[in-house]
Structure 1
Amino acid sequence: MKAPTNWVPVCTVDDLVADSGIAVWTEDGPVSVFYLPNRLPALFAVSHTDPFSGSNVLARGITGDINGEPVVASPIYKQHFSLRTGRCLEDEGVQIKVYPALLDGNRIRLEVPVVQAAPVAA
């Protein structure tokens, strides 16, 4: 059974920069949103945390294309992560989280897990 999710607004189209990323905060943690206007789809969202350094930096990475795969290169150790799958191209055993993204009018929405409240002890 799939965990419950919610489509949450995280920014507007005006916040986006072509061929670049921005960092947003969600209940699931920091997320990088990338706008690549010359691709379809043009919106991608992945974890903002670089799994190799533990730093929240991926929105500052350089976007590109490796053999047709849209990627972001971590600004710290330069590993490339697929913006579609989250897979690290240099180490296939490492993957970052990917979030479905959609344009809703002027808002960008991401599908994130619903944070469940902890049960209250009696």
Structure 2
Amino acid sequence: MSEWKDICKFSDLAANTGVCALHNNEQVAIFRVGKEQKVYAISNYDPIGKANVLSRGIIGDIKGKLVVASPLYKQHFCLETGECLEEPENSVKAYQVRVEGESVQLIG
């Protein structure tokens, strides 16, 4: 059974930006977004640009979906599902994330 693991502190996350963290030997892009300061986590690997850069992307909203635009070729990845809006076949993994006290945690 999977367990929640600490990945970083909530205070490590600046509002409306991303950071990269290592989780189970994979780079994960973690974002703190909006007035509610909700936290999202997706793979940091951009499968189109073939680089770990999504944590450096710009956060936005497209048709009600919260997204990050890759800094390389500007494809948009949904922060909730990891879906690539322009090329769904290039979607990325989305992680279950929660905040417990000051800790940001991922499952696994």
Q: What TM-score do you get using the length of structure 1 for normalisation?
A: 0.83
Q: Give the counterpart letter for 1:6 in structure 2.
A: E
Match of residue 52, structure 1, among 48, 55, 58: 48
Q: Deviations for 1:55-79, whole angstroms, at most 9, x for unmatched residues?
A: 1100000000011100000000100
Structure whose alpha-carbon radius of gyration is higher: 1
For residues 1-122 of structure 1, the aligned pairs below 5 Å read 4-39=1-36, 42-112=38-108
Displacement of 1:6 in angstroms is 2.5
Displacement of 1:54 in angstroms is 1.7
- Which runs of no fewer than 5 residues in structure 1 stay unpaired? 113-122
Equivalent-residue separation in structure 1 for 2:103 and 2:34 (angstroms):
16
When you count strand as a share of all residues, which structure comes out higher?
2
Q: Give the counterpart letter for 2:95 in structure 1.
A: Y
Q: Taking structure 1 as reference, are residues 6 and 54 closer, same or farther at Cα in structure 2, changes over 3 Å only?
A: farther
How many residues of Structure 1 are paired with residues of Structure 2 in the alignment?
108
Helix, strand or coil for the counterpart of 1:93? helix
Using the aligned pairs only, state the percent identity. Answer: 39
- Which runs of no fewer than 5 residues in structure 2 stay unpaired? none
Q: What TM-score do you get using the length of structure 2 for normalisation?
A: 0.94
Runs of 4+ in 1 over 4 A off after TM superposition: none
Q: Counterpart of 1:116?
A: none
Tell me the C-alpha RMSD between the 2 structures: 1.3
